[in-house]
Structures are given as structure tokens and as C-alpha cells.
């Protein structure tokens, strides 16, 4: 039902390879192949959100210790129970949450992150215990020194415990976000676009409201054959974004 000019196709194709590999280099997506031969795209989480999540968990843990100390302050039995409880929390707080609450400690939940296995399956006792017992090694020499170095050097932002356990910390999209797109009708792109190109156009349309008019014009102008001969390149691109997102309503 669609026919394309050969030259447009050629343009799109060379463009594909370039943008595709460029985006793959920039993006922190980890590709995992399932037994069904499908590639899953998992967005791995970097150092800063992980450190902040850790901080939240550390605060929660301290809160629990204070509460326990208040409850168990009576006598030696209380102190014994306190020691037991702190031992369990110190070593197994992340394990319990990761295994029983879908890979999320409260801190990770706050940043919509989760621990999963390298193959995309939920982390289980063995993997979670490995990564959390080896936290000791990550913590050395001071304040997660080795862990931070490992995260910075690793493509998938893994600390030592993640390397040994074969686990990833990824962002979990809780729901697909739908941004408001600028008004206007849908425009069919002149030729089929790769996923990366579609993503770029939709991202542009979603962000165009937050950009100055001049900057939008400038960016839209960069898309070459897509806006060739258009009077309003921004409107044209936003129209295409709408078309790509399923709207077929042409301009009135």
C-alpha cells in the first residue's frame, strides 16, 4: 500500500545505520535475547541514582535501628534481640526486598529502579545473596570505593557484587508516559523510519514545548529530507510524531 522513491529509501537506510549505532553508543540500554529470539531492551541505571537510592535505604535502616533501640532498651535480653535484629537488617535488608518485592528496596522503588538477573528474569535468593554479601568487597577501601570504580568502568554499571551475581540494576517503566503533543494534524512520514528515528521525532515533539521557538526551528531543520520544502518544519515534525503515535487525523 505504500510506495517509496528509491532515493528516499537510500537516505533512510544510510541514516539508519548511523543513527542506530550512535544512539546505541549513547543510550544505556542493555540488550538481552530471550529463548524466543526476541531482544529485550533493558535501561540500566547509573551511579548517581543508585547512590541516592542507597542513601534512602541507609536512612530507613538507621530509622529502624533507632526505633528498635527504643523498643528493646530494657535489659540484656533486649540488647541481645537488638544485636540479632541489626545483624539481620544489616546483611539481609536488601536481600529480602529484592527477592520478595520484585527487586526493589524502598530506595530503589523511589527511583523506579529494580535489580534483575542479566537475562531479564527476577532476581532470586542465590543471586541476591551473592550481590549483597559481596557488598563488603564493594565497600572497600572506603565508602564503596571499589564498587564505584567498578560501576564507572562497566558498560552495564555493575558493581563487583553485580558482576559475580550476574545481576543488573535497571529502570522500571511503571507505565508508558504519554506527553501532550502540540496542536495540529497528523502528517505521514514520507518514508518508513527506524525505531531510533521514530523515537527521536517523538522525543522532539514532546520536548518542543519546553524549547524556544528558534531552537525548535534549528533542531527541526536538522532532520533533512523529512522537512524538505516545509513551511513550518516544527509543525511538520510534530505532525509526524502524532502519526507515529497512532493519530491519523489530518490537519483541518
Task: Check if the beta carbon of residue 205 is closer than 8 Å to that of residue 184.
Answer: no
Provide the mask over 1-20, with x wherever binding to other proteins is found by CB under 8 A and - wherever it is not: xxxx----x--x--------
Minimum CB distance to other proteins, residue 213 (Å): 25
Report the residue number, 53 or 114, with the smaller CB distance to other proteins: 114
State which of residues 84, 209, 222, 250 lies at the interface with other proteins (CB under 8 A). Answer: 84
195 is an interface residue for other proteins by CB under 8 A: yes
Within 203-242, which residues bind other proteins (CB under 8 A)?
A: none
Within 39-58, which residues bind other proteins (CB under 8 A)?
A: 40-42
Minimum CB distance to other proteins, residue 133 (Å): 5
Report the residue number, 160 or 169, with the smaller CB distance to other proteins: 160
Helix 145-153 × helix 47-71 angle, to 10°? 150
Minimum CB distance to other proteins, residue 106 (Å): 18
Minimum CB distance to other proteins, residue 165 (Å): 7
Measured between alpha carbons, how far apart are the two ends of the chain, in Å? 24
The site for other proteins, by CB under 8 A, has a size of 61
State which of residues 165, 168, 227, 234 lies at the interface with other proteins (CB under 8 A). Answer: 165
36 is an interface residue for other proteins by CB under 8 A: yes
As a whole number of angstroms, the distance between CA 54 and CA 120 comes to 22
137 is an interface residue for other proteins by CB under 8 A: yes
Minimum CB distance to other proteins, residue 85 (Å): 8
What is the Cα gyration radius of the chain?
25
Minimum CB distance to other proteins, residue 231 (Å): 25
Identify which of 122, 234, 116 has the alpha carbon closest to the alpha carbon of residue 184. Answer: 234
State which of residues 20, 46, 102, 225 lies at the interface with other proteins (CB under 8 A). Answer: 102
Could you list the residues that contact other proteins (CB under 8 A)?
Answer: 1-4, 9, 12, 34, 36-38, 40-42, 75-77, 79-84, 86-87, 90-91, 102, 116, 119-122, 124-126, 129-130, 133-137, 160, 163-166, 173, 176, 191-195, 198-199, 202, 244-246, 248
Amino acid at each position: 500500500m505504500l510506495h517509496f522513491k528509491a532515493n528516499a529509501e537510500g537516505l533512510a537506510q544510510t541514516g539508519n545505520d548511523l543513527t542506530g549505532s550512535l544512539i546505541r553508543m549513547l543510550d544505556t540500554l542493555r540488550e538481552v535475547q530471550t529463548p524466543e529470539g526476541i531482544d529485550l531492551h533493558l535501561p540500566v541505571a547509573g551511579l548517581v541514582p543508585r547512590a541516592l537510592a542507597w542513601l534512602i535505604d541507609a536512612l530507613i535502616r538507621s530509622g529502624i535501628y533507632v526505633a528498635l533501640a527504643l523498643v528493646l532498651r530494657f535489659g540484656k535480653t533486649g540488647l541481645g534481640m537488638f544485636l540479632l535484629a541489626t545483624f539481620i537488617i544489616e546483611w539481609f535488608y536488601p536481600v529480602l526486598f529484592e527477592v520478595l518485592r520484585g527487586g526493589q528496596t524502598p530506595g530503589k522503588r523511589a527511583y523506579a529502579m529494580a535489580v534483575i538477573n542479566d537475562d531479564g528474569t527476577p532476581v532470586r535468593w542465590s543471586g541476591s545473596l551473592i550481590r549483597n554479601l559481596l557488598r563488603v568487597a564493594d565497600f572497600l577501601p572506603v565508602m564503596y570505593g571499589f564498587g564505584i570504580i567498578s560501576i564507572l568502568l562497566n558498560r552495564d554499571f555493575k558493581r563487583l557484587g553485580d558482576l559475580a551475581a550476574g545481576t543488573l540494576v535497571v529502570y522500571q517503566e511503571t507505565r508508558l508516559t504519554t506527553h501532550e503533543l502540540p496542536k495540529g494534524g497528523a502528517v505521514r512520514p514520507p518514508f518508513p523510519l527506524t525505531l531510533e528515528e521514530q523515537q527521536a521525532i517523538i522525543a522532539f515533539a514532546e520536548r518542543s514545548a519546553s524549547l524556544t521557538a528558534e531552537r525548535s526551528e534549528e533542531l527541526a531543520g536538522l532532520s533533512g529530507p523529512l522537512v524538505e520544502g516545509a513551511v513550518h518544519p516544527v509543525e511538520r515534525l510534530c505532525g509526524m510524531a502524532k502519526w507515529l503515535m497512532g493519530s491519523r487525523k489530518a490537519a483541518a
